[in-house]
């Protein structure tokens, strides 16, 4: 009896290993989406006073959960550090990662992940205390720099200082919270990460005005959600959920009017997006109102940006590159047809 149980468990383990390719089925049978987020970066993903995760990256997870399961709350958030995020995704602990992660060639191809789009166009910057009197990153030779390990920013930093013949002392840090604490204690002169991350971190300081973000942007950091390689179906779902949020802003579909518009409109593109026309949902094995659910979860891209990062928030980031293409930004959702 015992032996048969043992072999049964073994067989089950083998089957589970083989079946993990179909992430959509796993998520639907589980009833929750496991989504990897950061350990806490205000504006992008951090728990609020009620212990609920919220932020710009969190909203992407919730939109995907709403599209797949019809419930934006059906998300299990897994906090990951810069070092643990890829292992968590590769091992199947999480179904998708939405943790301001930079899309690079080697991550896409060598690490075997699939980036499903870009939800924030960013670049790496430097933050220093105003009291240092530094106005340019070129003045930073000899500085002590706090840097999150296992990130692209770590590599950019090494390249930038090398290319400009400057030396520096890296202080490797595991999470944004630790970096903030070290930086405020003066254990490092400079904190470097994505400019959005700097703005978000600075917004939580007691005196944000005492710190400046230097004008130089030393890299391109296209941040986006990603999934495992080898399950294109699941990758498409995450990709088109993100596209739906972007397209919704373009067509003026908001969380407030989506129910009304879902009754049918004059615009066939909106009708296809919201499932009143065509069978787009079935093509990605979802209900036809998947996009309605995704948009209702938190709103379209513009609403999410305004709520978590925009100029009305303490973080106060301008839309910049993250505006719609008609407004001079880079957001450009492919057609829904």
Partner 1 sequence: MTTTAAEPPKQSFHLGQLIYDTRYRSLTIQIVALVLLMLFFSWLVSNTVQNLATLGKDFDFSYLGQRAGYDINQRLIDYSSESTHARAALVGILNTLLVAFMGCVAATIIGVIAGVLRLSSNWIVSRLMTVYVEGFRNVPLLLWIIAIFALMTEGTPQPRDFREGGTASMLLFDSVAISNRGVYVPAPVWGPGSLALGIVFVLSIVGIWAWRRYAHARQERTGEILPVFAVSLALLLVPSVLAYFVLGAPIGLDYPELGGFNFAGGLHLRNSLIALWLALSLYTGAFIAEIVRGGILAVSRGQTEAAFALGLRPRRTMNLVILPQALRVIIPPLISQYLNLTKNSSLAIAVGYMDVRSTLGGISINQTGRELEGMLLLGGFYLLLSLVISSAMNFYNSRVKLKER
73 or 83: CB nearest partner 1: 83
Residue 131 C-beta: closest distance to partner 1, Å: 8
21 or 283: CB nearest partner 1: 21
110 or 206: CB nearest partner 1: 110
> Closest Cα to residue 235, out of 1, 24, 9?
24
Residues with Cβ within 8 Å of 269's Cβ and at least 6 positions away in sequence, in order, are 247, 251, 335, 336, 337
User: What is the DSSP track for 144-161?
Assistant: EEEEETTSHHHHHHHHHH
Q: Is 140 helix (H, G, I), strand (E, B) or coil?
A: coil
> Closest Cα to residue 147, out of 124, 129, 172?
172
Residue 147 C-beta: closest distance to partner 1, Å: 9
89 or 294: CB nearest partner 1: 89
Residue 337 C-beta: closest distance to partner 1, Å: 31
Largest CA distance in the chain: 75
186 or 318: CB nearest partner 1: 186
56 or 160: CB nearest partner 1: 160
24 or 132: CB nearest partner 1: 132
Residue 113 C-beta: closest distance to partner 1, Å: 9
186 or 268: CB nearest partner 1: 186
Residue 83 C-beta: closest distance to partner 1, Å: 5
Residue 14 C-beta: closest distance to partner 1, Å: 7
Q: Is 50 helix (H, G, I), strand (E, B) or coil?
A: coil
In the complex, the residues that contact partner 1 under the rule CB under 8 A are 10, 13-14, 17-18, 20-21, 82-83, 86-87, 90, 106-107, 110-112, 132, 140-144, 149-150, 154-155, 157-159, 161-162, 168-174, 181-182, 185-189, 228-230
Residue 1 C-beta: closest distance to partner 1, Å: 16
How far is the C-alpha of 165 from the C-alpha of 187, rounded, in Å?
23
> Closest Cα to residue 311, out of 211, 199, 191?
199
Contacts 24+ apart (CB under 8 A), 71-76: 72/293, 72/296, 72/297, 72/298, 74/31, 74/32, 74/33, 75/32, 75/33, 75/34, 75/35, 76/32, 76/33, 76/34, 76/35
Q: 216 vs 116, 136, 150, 219, 259, CA distance in Å?
A: 28, 7, 22, 9, 44
For the chain, the C-alpha Rg in angstroms (whole number) is: 21
Residue 259 C-beta: closest distance to partner 1, Å: 41
């Amino acid at each position: 009896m015992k032996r048969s149980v043992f072999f049964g468990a073994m067989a089950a383990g083998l089957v589970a290993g083989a079946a993990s390719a179909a992430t959509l089925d796993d998520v639907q049978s589980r009833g929750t989406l496991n989504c990897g987020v950061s350990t806490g970066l205000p504006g992008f993903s951090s728990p609020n006073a009620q212990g609920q995760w919220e932020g710009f990256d969190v909203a992407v997870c919730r939109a995907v959960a709403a599209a797949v399961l019809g419930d934006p709350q059906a998300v299990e958030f897994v906090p990951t550090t810069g070092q643990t995020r890829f292992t968590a995704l590769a091992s199947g602990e999480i179904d998708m990662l939405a943790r301001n992660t930079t899309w690079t060639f080697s991550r896409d191809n060598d690490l075997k992940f699939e980036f499903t789009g870009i939800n924030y166009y960013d670049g790496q910057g430097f933050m220093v205390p105003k009291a240092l009197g530094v106005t340019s990153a070129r003045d930073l030779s000899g500085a002590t720099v706090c840097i999150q390990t296992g990130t692209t920013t770590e590599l950019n930093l090494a390249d930038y200082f090398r290319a400009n013949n400057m030396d520096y002392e890296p202080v490797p840090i595991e999470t944004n919270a630790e970096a903030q604490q070290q930086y405020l204690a003066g254990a490092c002169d400079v904190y470097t990460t994505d400019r959005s991350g700097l703005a978000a971190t600075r917004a939580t300081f007691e005196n944000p005005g005492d710190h400046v973000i230097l004008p130089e942007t030393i890299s391109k950091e296209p941040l986006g959600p990603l999934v495992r390689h080898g399950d294109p179906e699941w990758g498409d779902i995450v990709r088109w959920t993100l596209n739906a949020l972007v397209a919704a802003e373009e067509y003026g579909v908001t969380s407030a009017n989506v129910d009304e518009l879902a009754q049918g409109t004059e615009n066939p593109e909106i009708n296809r997006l919201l499932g009143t026309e065509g069978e787009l949902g079935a093509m990605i094995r979802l209900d036809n109102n998947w996009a309605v659910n995704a948009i209702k979860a938190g709103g379209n891209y513009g609403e999410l940006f305004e709520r978590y990062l925009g100029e009305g928030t303490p973080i106060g980031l301008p839309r910049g590159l993250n505006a719609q293409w008609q407004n001079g930004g880079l957001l450009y959702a492919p057609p829904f047809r």
